[in-house]
Amino acid sequence: MSGKRYSNEVVYVDPDFEDLIPSFLENREADISSIRQSLVNSDMSEIRRLGHGMKGAGAGYGFPEVTRLGSVIEEAAKRADARSIEEAVQMLAEYISAVEIRTESE
């Protein structure tokens, strides 16, 4: 996996979803915590479930990078590849802290 670092990440969201985005991002932060705890517990099934959920949620809210990283996490969990999961979770945390939200009308 590439060690992409995020800067100037802008996501344009539908104005109808604008009020939902803070919750969406908070939920991803909760996912990060849950995945890290699941790594400690070696619970690859839970990590796979969380990655799968992120994959769908990212697409639904217009965050293709969340979708991509969710897919990476899901696939890595299927292989029990803790290192790849850790890298993807770190990238997700960096992405969430760097992303700037704008509405499509801006």
- 38 belongs to a structural domain: yes
Higher pLDDT, 105 or 79: 79
CA separation (Å) from 91 to 14, 15, 58, 68? 25, 27, 15, 11
Place 17 in a pLDDT band, splitting at 50, 70 and 90: confident
Q: What is the mean pLDDT of residues 67-87?
A: 98
In a domain, 3, yes or no: no
Tell which wins on pLDDT, 83 or 103. Answer: 83
Domain assignment present for 4: no
**Max Cα distance, the chain (Å):** 44
- Kindly tell me if the per-residue pLDDT of 26 is higher than 60: yes
User: What stretches of 1-106 adopt beta strand conformation (E)?
Assistant: 9-13, 99-103
Asked if the structure places residue 5 within a domain, the reply is no
Query: Is the model more confident about 5 or about 79?
Result: 79
Residues spanned by the domain of 28: 17-99
Whether the per-residue pLDDT at 37 is higher than 80: the answer is yes
Nearest to 32 by CA among 100, 90, 74: 90
User: Which residues touch 6 (CB under 8 Å, ≥6 apart)?
Assistant: 91, 94, 95, 97, 98, 99
CATH of the domain at 80: 1.20.120.160
Q: Tell me the mean pLDDT in the region 35-47.
A: 98
